Amino acid sequence: MSPQNEPPTPAQVAHMYRDQPTFSCSNCAAVIALQDELISKAFSGRDGRGYLMHSAVNVKLGKREDRPLLTGVHTVADVFCVGCSDRVGWYYHKASDHSQKYKEGKYLLEREKLIKDNAWKIDE
């Protein structure tokens, strides 16, 4: 793969999103998602509350598996930070229940694994 086709590094992504509110990995501070991608804060993860997100960056997916969750069995893959390999949530591949289909193609990111950066600017 040529350098032009390689995905951006976590530092490059952080630079691209430097003026936007983001969620970052609590372990290594790699940007994981833009706050604009937040769908809902009313979700539960393995380690507590979670955020349902439209997309995520600087992540890699683990192996697909059928997992019983609070809302039924879903085909999911754990999501890992590319900066430090910490598990930060999971990706919904498929929902077995029709009422849960809206989750397909979305990310559940664990609140305890994230740092919220509001990118506030203070007038001097």
88-114 CB burial, b ≥16 within 10 A, e <16 = bbbbbbebeeeebeebeebbbbbbebb
In the chain, domain spans: 3-117
- What is the distance, to the nearest Å, from the Cα of residue 80 to the centroid of all Cα atoms in its chain? 9
Whether the per-residue pLDDT at 2 is higher than 90: the answer is no
Q: Provide the token pair at 117.
A: 């950066």
Which residue has tokens 């506030």?
A: 120
How is residue 81 annotated by DSSP? Answer: E
Residues forming a β-bridge with 73: 68
CA distance linking residue 36 with residue 38, whole number of Å: 6
Alpha-carbon distance 7 to 24, whole Å?
18
Written as six digits, the tokens of 52 are: 């349902």
Mean pLDDT of 91-101: 94
pTM score: 0.82
Amino acid occupying residue 48: G
pLDDT single digits (tens) 52-92:
999 999 999 999 999 998 888 999 999 999 999 999 999 99
User: Helix-strand-coil percent breakdown of the chain, rounded to 5?
Assistant: 20, 50, 35
Average pLDDT for 110-124 = 74
The fourth-level CATH superfamily of domain 3-117 is Peptide methionine sulfoxide reductase. (2.170.150.20)
Instruction: Look at residue 69 in the predicted model and tell me its pLDDT.
Output: 87
Give the residue carrying structure tokens 């490059």: 12
